[in-house]
Amino acid sequence: MTTTNGIGSAESPPRLRKAEFNDYQQIAALGSQYGLGKETYEEWAHLWANNPVLRTVPDCPMGWVFEREDHQIVGHLANVPLAYQLGKQKLIACASRSVMVDPRYRSYSFQLLSQFFRQKQVDLFLATTVNAQATKLYEVFRALRVPAGTWDNSAFWITNYPGFAACALKMKGLPGAGLSYPTGVGLWARDVLQGRFFKTRGKSIEPDVCTRFDDRFQVFWQALCDRYPQRLLADRSREALEWHFKPASAKNWTWTLTLSQGSQLTAYAIFLRQDNPEYGLTRMRLVDFQTLNGQNELLRPLLCSALERCRKDRIHMLEASGFSAEKQSIIDSLSPCGRNLDAWRYLYKAAQPGLAERLKDPAAWDPSCLDGDASL
C-alpha cells in the first residue's frame, strides 16, 4: 500500500540507504502508524528471500529507508521484483510497496521514489496500490495510468447482510446496536428487487476447488503465453503462483476455483481474503481470472460458486476491480453494487521507448489484482 499524504519538514535530513532484513521491526512499527496490516517477519521476508526473480537479478534492492542520526527509521519504500512476459520477451518488473514517511520528513519523499525509478535492470515499474495523496508524486516521474480496466471503482456483492450493515454503520459513525439487522434487511430487499440476489445463485457448472498449484497450472501458463503473444502477462507459472500466494495459503486465505476438460484446465479464478480490520469488515476479492480461447463467460460460474461460499462462511462481501472490459462485462452481468475509490490505483512506467509505445495500446494489457503488490 502506498501512503505519502501530507508534507512536513525536519531539522536535519535523514540518511537514505538500502533496506535490509534486520530493518523489519522498525518498518513494521512505522507501518502500524498508518493502519497497515502487520505481517510476520516470515511473511515479509518471503517477498525477497524466496522470490524466484532474484535468481535473474540478484542485486535488486529490497527497498530503501530513511534513517535518522539515532538510527531510527522514518521512511520506507519496498521494492518487489516480478517477472512478466510479452510474447517471447521476458521482462523484469518492480513494484513499489508500502511507501510511508514520517510527517516530519515528508518533504524528502521524492528521494525514495527517485531511487525506485532509477533502477537500471528494470524494464517496467508498477504501482498498483496508489492512493490519492501519492498519485501526484508518481506522476512527477511520468508514471501513467494503465489504459485497461477501471481502477478507480470496484464492483461488490453483499454476502452477509447483517454483518455488512453493522460495518457500514460503523464507517459512518452510527451506532450498530439495534440498527444492523433492519439495515441488513433493507439491503437484502433492495438486492431482491433489483434481481441481484437471484442472479448470483445460478450455477449451471460446478467448479472444482484446487488446494495447490499443480502441474496443470504450468501447462496452462505455457498455453496462455502462446495464445496471447501480444499481451503483457504477469508470470503465472506454477513456481510464480506458489511464491505469490504462499503466505496467504498458509492462513487459508486463498480460494482457487478451476474448470477443466479431462485433465486440462480451461479456466481458473483466484480469490484472496482482504479484510478491513478497522471496521471489522470481512471481504474476499477476485484477484485473477484466466481462460484460454477468450471464454470469459466461464467467469460467471466461478463467481457464483465463490459468492455461495462467502454466504456459507458468513463473509460480508466479495469484491472485484480492475479487469478488462471483456471480463468486466461478465462481472456486470451479475448486477454488482459499486463503490468509488479515492484514486486510479494502477500506475506504470516503461523503461524503454519501444516498450512504452507498445503499452499505450489497451489491447496489450490484461490487468488484474495479481499485478504489482495488489495481492501481496
Residue-wise pLDDT for 69-125, tens only, equals 999 999 999 999 999 999 999 999 999 998 999 999 999 999 999 999 999 999 999
Q: Of 118, 145, 172, which residue constitutes the final position of a domain?
A: 145
Residue 40 maps to a domain: yes
Residue 19 maps to a domain: yes
pLDDT band at 177 (very low <50, low <70, confident <90, very high): low
**Domain around 26:** 15-145
φ and ψ at residue 76, rounded to 5 degrees: -160, 140
Q: What residues contact residue 77 under an 8 Å CB cut-off, 6+ apart?
A: 63, 64, 96, 97, 98, 99, 112, 113, 115, 116
State yes or no: pLDDT of 6 exceeds 50: no
pTM metric for this prediction = 0.94
Report the distance separating Cα 297 and Cα 154, nearest Å. 20
Predicted confidence at residue 200, as pLDDT, reads 80
State yes or no: pLDDT of 376 exceeds 70: yes
pLDDT band at 38 (very low <50, low <70, confident <90, very high): confident
Which run of H or of E encompasses 48? helix 41-49
Based on the fold, state whether residues 193 and 276 are members of the same structural domain. Answer: yes
Report the distance separating Cα 348 and Cα 147, nearest Å. 10
Based on the fold, state whether residues 198 and 103 are members of the same structural domain. Answer: no
Based on the fold, state whether residues 136 and 201 are members of the same structural domain. Answer: no
Predicted confidence at residue 265, as pLDDT, reads 97
Based on the fold, state whether residues 174 and 297 are members of the same structural domain. Answer: yes
Q: Of 122, 145, 168, which residue constitutes the final position of a domain?
A: 145
Predicted confidence at residue 5, as pLDDT, reads 46
Residue 60 maps to a domain: yes
CATH number of the CATH domain containing 270:
3.40.630.30
Model confidence pLDDT, tens digit, residues 313-322: 999 999 999 9
Could you tell me how many residues make up the chain? 376
| Average pLDDT along the chain | 93
Predicted confidence at residue 8, as pLDDT, reads 45
pLDDT band at 195 (very low <50, low <70, confident <90, very high): confident
